[in-house]
Amino acid sequence: MNVLLQHLPVLPVVVPLVTGAVMLLVRERRRRTHGALAITSFTIQLAAAVVLLLLTTDTVRDVWTEGIGVYRIGGWPAPFAIVLVVDRLAAMMVMLSATLGLAAILYSVAHWDRPALPFHALLQFLAMGVNGAFLTGDLFNLYVFFEVLLAASYGLVLRGLGSQRVKTGLNYIAINLASSSLFLIGVALIYGISGTLNMADLTQKVAALEPDDRTILEAGAAVLGVAFLVKAGSWPLNFWLPRTYAIALPPVAAIFAILSKVGIYAVIRVSSLTAGDNITTTILDEILFWVGLGTLLAGIVGMLSARHLSRFIAYSVVVSTGLVLGALGLGIETLIAPVLFYIGLSVVTTGTFFMLTGMAERARETIVARNAAELTAPAPFFVAYGVADPDPYGIDEEIGTAIPAAMAFLGLIFVFCVMLVAGLPPLPGFVAKFAILAAVLGSPEVAAAPAWLFASAVLLSGLATVITTSRIGIRLFWTSAARRVPRLRLLEAAPVALLLLAMFAATAAAPVVMEFLDATAASLQDPQAYVRAVLGGEP
C-alpha cells in the first residue's frame, strides 16, 4: 500500500489545518493568494473525498477489508488511541462538505472575501472541524472537532459586524458553549460507566453492561443526544438557528448548511453504534419522532411567517432537520436510505439557496436605494395639484425591454431551489420526499397514526414552502422596481449552477446512488463490520 493511500483518511483533516495555518502567515492584502490557497485546499479535499468514497464501495476490494478504512493515529492499537474511521456514511458526508466548501469558496472569491484574512483561514478551520467530526471514531475527539468547527463558526457569524450580527452571534456562542458543557457531561458519564471512548469498543462494552449500569449509560447518551439536537437545530432547542443563519453572510450561511447536519450525523452514528435491547431503542425512537414532528411544525410556522428569503431558507433548514429526525424516529429500516439521500439533497439545496440570496438581495438593495431616493424628492407638481402620484415605474416602461439574462438566471435558479425544497416533480427533491413517504406509508411496522401525522406534516411543509416562496419571489423578482439588473460575476453564478447540475447528475445516476445508500443503511443497521474493522486487524 503506498504512502498516499495509507494516509488518505487523514487528509481531509490535515489539508485544511495546514492551509489555514499558512494563510495566517500570508499578508491580508494578497487576496488572490488566499483565494488560490483556499481553492487548492478544497480541491484536494474533494479529490480525497472522492477516492475515499470509491474505496468504501465494492469497486475496489483489496485495499480495505469490508470497505471500512481505519486510520490509527500514531499507529497505536485501536481502543487506546484515537482512530479515524472511513465507512460509507462518513465518506458520503465528507464528500458533501468538500463539494459545498469548494462551491462556497468559488462563490466568495468573487467579492465576499474582503478582507481576506480571517475569512479564508476560518473557513479552512471550519472545514477541518466538519471533516474531523465525520471521520473520527472517538467520542471525545468528536467533542474536540465540534469545538473546532464551532470556534470557526463563531468568527464567521460575526463577519460583517454590525450590532445585529454581534447580538445574534453572542446568543449563538452562549447557546453553543452551554450545549458543549452538556456534550462533555454526556461523554464523561459514558466513559465513567463503560471505561472507553472509542465508539467501536463502546458498542461491545454496551452489550456486556449490567442493567443498573445501563441506566447510567443511557442517561449519558440522553445528555449527549440533547447536545447533538441543539447543534442539529431541533425544536424546542432551535430558536437560535433561524436568526443566526439569516443574519450570516450568504457564503457563510451556505457553508452553515452542513453544520446542522453534523449534529444529525452524530445522532445517527452514536445511535447506530450504541443501539442495545429493543425496549430502550423504542422509547428513544419515540422521543426522536415527536421531537422531529415538533421541529417540522415549528419550521412550517416559521416558514409561513418569514418575510425575507434568508429567513425562509433558515426555516427550511429547521424543516429538513425535523423531517430527518422524525423519519429516523419511526425506526423503519427501509427508510434510512431515502433519508440519507434527503440529507445530501437538502445540504446542497440549502447551500445553493443561500448563495442565491446573496445575488438576489443585491438586486433589492439597489431597489431600496432607488426608492429611498424617490421618497426624498417628492414631485412638486403632483403635490400642488393634489393628484395621486402615478407609479414612476409604470407599465409603459415595460414595453420593449427584454428580460435581462442575469434576472432570468436568478429567477430560474430560484424556481429550481423552490421546487427542490418543496419537493415538486420532476426535480430530485420530489424523488427524495416520495421515497420517504412511500417507505413510511408502505411499512407494516409503523402504527397508522404516527405515519399519517408524519406524512401530512411533510406535505404541509411543501405547501408552506410554495406559499411563502411565491410571496417572496413576487417581491424579489416581479415588483416593477426590480428592473435594475444586479451585476453578476461568473465566479458567483457558476458554483450555484454547478451545484444544481451536480444534483441533477445525482438524480440521473439514481440507481448507483441508491445502491450505495442501501449499502450504507445496511451497515448502519449492523455495526459489527465497523467494530471488526476498528478493533481487529493489524495496526
Partner 1 sequence: MELVYALATGVLTASGVWLLLRPRTFQVLLGLALLSYATNIFIFGMGRLTLHRPPVIRGDTPVDPSFYADPTPQALVLTAIVIAFATTALFLVVLLALRGLTGTDHVDGREPDA
Binding site for partner 1 (CB under 8 A): 140, 144, 147, 150-151, 154, 158, 161-164, 166-167, 169-171, 173-174, 177-178, 180-181, 184-185, 187-189, 191-192, 197
Task: Work out how close the CB of 154 gets to partner 1 at its nearest, in angstroms, rounded to a whole number.
Answer: 6
**According to the 3-state scheme, what is the secondary structure of 448-515?**
HHHHHHHHHHHHHHHHHHHHHHHHHHHHHHHCHHHHCCCCCCHHHHHHHHHHHHHHHHHHHCHHHHHH
Q: Which is nearer to partner 1, 221 or 421 (CB)?
A: 221
Closer Cβ to partner 1, 157 or 303, answer by number? 157
Q: How far is the CB of 167 from partner 1 (least distance, A)?
A: 4
Distance in Å, CB of 498 to partner 1, minimum: 35
CB atoms within 10 A of CB 51: 17
Calpha distance 536→475 (Å, rounded): 60
Report which residue type is found at 524. Answer: L
Minimum distance from residue 4 beta carbon to partner 1 (Å): 30
Q: Which of 254, 266, 182 is nearest to 224 (CA)?
A: 182
Smallest distance from the beta carbon of 535 to partner 1, in angstroms?
18
Residues 6+ apart with CB under 8 A from 252: 156, 157, 159
CA separation for the pair 250, 362 (Å, rounded): 11
> Distance (Å, rounded) from C-alpha 301 to C-alpha 293?
12
CB of 263 to partner 1, least distance (A): 18
Q: CB 262 → partner 1: shortest distance, Å?
A: 17
Quick one: which of 468, 391, 459, 472 has its CA closest to 430?
459
CA dist 30 and 24 (Å) reads 12
* Nearer of residues 190 and 359 to partner 1, judged by Cβ: 190
Q: Coil, helix or strand for 353? A: helix
Smaller CB distance to partner 1: residue 248 or 363?
248
Please, which residue, 121 or 158, has the CB nearer to partner 1? 158
The least CB distance from residue 198 to partner 1, in Å, is: 11
Residue in the block written with cell 439536537: 229
- Prior bond of 425 cis (ω within 30°): no
Q: 188 or 406: whose CB is closer to partner 1?
A: 188
144 or 438: CB nearest partner 1? 144
Query: Which of 154/430 has CB closer to partner 1?
Result: 154
Question: CA angle, corner 55, sides to 53 and 58, nearest 5?
Answer: 105
C-alpha cell at 164: 445585529
Q: Give the three cell numbers for residue 315.
A: 426555516
**Which of 164/282 has CB closer to partner 1?**
164
Min dist CB 191 to partner 1, Å, is 6
As measured in angstroms, the least distance from the Cβ of 91 to partner 1 is 27
Contacts (Cβ under 8 Å, ≥6 apart) of 186 = 220, 221, 222, 223, 224, 225, 226, 227
* Complex with partner 1: residue 43 or 204, whichever CB lies closer: 204
Q: Which long-range contacts (CB under 8 A, 24 or more apart) does 19-23 make?
A: 19/124, 20/120, 20/121, 20/122, 20/124, 20/125, 20/128, 21/121, 23/117, 23/120, 23/121, 23/124
CA contacts within 13 A on the Cβ side of 424 = 11
Q: Which of 144, 173, 142 minimizes the C-alpha distance to 156?
A: 173
Judged by beta carbon, residue 99 or residue 176, the one nearer partner 1 is: 176
Question: Can you tell me the distance from the alpha carbon of 456 to that of 437, in angstroms, rounded to the nearest whole number?
Answer: 10
- Closest contact distance (angstroms) between CB of 181 and partner 1 is 5
User: Smallest Cα–Cα separation from 54: which of 7, 518, 46?
Assistant: 46
* Angle made by CA atoms 284, 287, 293, in degrees to the nearest 5: 140
Question: CB 355 → partner 1: shortest distance, Å?
Answer: 26
- Closer of 131 and 176 to partner 1 (Cβ): 176
CB of 402 to partner 1, least distance (A): 45
Q: Measuring CA to CA, how many Å separate 210 from each of 134, 206, 215, 216, 277?
A: 31, 9, 9, 10, 12
Closer CB to partner 1, residue 161 or residue 279?
A: 161
